[in-house]
Amino acid sequence: MILERNSQVNDQRKKIHPHKFTLWVALGSIIMMFAGLTSAYIVKRNMGGWTGFPFPRAFWYSSAVILVSSLTVQMSLRAFRDREMQKYRNLITVTAVLGLLFVFLQWLGFRSIWNSGITLHGSGAGQFLYVIAGLHAVHVLAGVVALIVMFIRAYSARIRSYDSTPVELMSTYWHFVDLLWLYLFIFFMSIN
């Protein structure tokens, strides 16, 4: 039945894969969440009692790391399409490790802000940063979990898949969290 539907999608209508489309809509939804938070930040900034925070150097490193991880996830997609499975497995492993490294660097950044005396008590940029960048890190971690699932699948002998859709979904999501961080990075750097 599903196969028939797939053939219906792929051959009759020549449309985007429904799962890809679903992902794009979901990304729109995540964008709205962060748009809500960052516009709350802007509204709040124009009120009294606003305090800034020292911009940590760790965020520069984490930005570089997540940019590189976007590159590796793209390369893993190409490797999968070329059926170079060993290379594919290596590249998604590297991507997952870079994702974890990113979260670690974010944590270092949070710690340096925290040590400068900006805790959760207050209502300034720092508190917003903890919440917003924290939520972003949760989204990255969700991506890492998805990568681990794909990694296990790639090693499982029983499932032999030639469909690149899951890998494409993964790379789209990964590029998205990358871009989302770059937006937040520029946002926090310029409006602090």
Partner 1 sequence: MSNEATLHGHPEVTTHDVHLDEHGVHHHKETFITKYVFSQDHKMIAKQFLITGMVWAILGALMSVLFRLQLGYPDTTFPWLEDILGSKWAKGGHIQPEFYYALVTMHGTVLVFFVLTGGLSGTFANFLIPLQVGARDMASPFLNMLSYWFFFTASIVMLSSLFVESGPASGGWTTYVPLSALADASDGSRAGMDLWISSMALFVVSSLLGGLNYISTILNLRTKGMSMTRLPLTIWAILFTAILGVLSFPVLLSGLILLLFDRHAGTSFYLDKIFIASTQQALPNEGGSAILYQHLFWFLGHPEVYIIILPAMGLVSEVMAVNSRKPIFGYMAMVGSLFAICVLAFLVWAHHMFVTGLNPLLGSVFVLLTLLIAIPSAIKVFNWLTTLWRGNLRFTPGMLFAIGFVSMFISGGLTGIFLGNSTLDIQLHDTYFVIAHFHIVMGVSGMLGMFAGIYHWFPKMYGRYLNNTMAYIHFWVTFVGAYLIFWPMHYEGLAGMPRRYLTYSNWISFNQFADLNKFISTVAMVVFAVQLLFVFNFFYSIFKGRRVVSQNPWGSTTLEWTAPIRPGHGNWPGEIPEVHRWAYDYAKDGREFIPQTEPLGSNESAH
Among 1, 14, 86, 158, binds partner 1 (CB under 8 A): 1
> Is 157 one of the binding residues for partner 1 (CB under 8 A)?
no
Closest CA to 140 of 108, 186, 110, 97: 97
For residues 76 and 95, is the Cβ–Cβ distance under 8 A?
yes
Among 14, 43, 86, 157, binds partner 1 (CB under 8 A): 43
Contacts of residue 130, Cβ cutoff 8 Å, sequence gap at least 6:
110, 120
Among 68, 101, 108, 131, binds partner 1 (CB under 8 A): 131
> Is 156 one of the binding residues for partner 1 (CB under 8 A)?
no
One-letter amino acid of 92? I
The residue with tokens 């489309």 is 21
Mark the segment that binds partner 1 (CB under 8 A) among 52-60, 70-78, 140-148, 158-166. Answer: 158-166
For residues 27 and 111, is the Cβ–Cβ distance under 8 A?
no
One-letter amino acid of 89? R
Tokens of 21: 């489309």
Among 124, 172, 175, 187, binds partner 1 (CB under 8 A): 124
Q: Which residues bind partner 1 (CB under 8 A)?
A: 1-13, 15-19, 21-22, 25-26, 28-30, 32-37, 40, 43-44, 47-50, 119-124, 127-128, 131, 135, 159, 161-163, 165-166
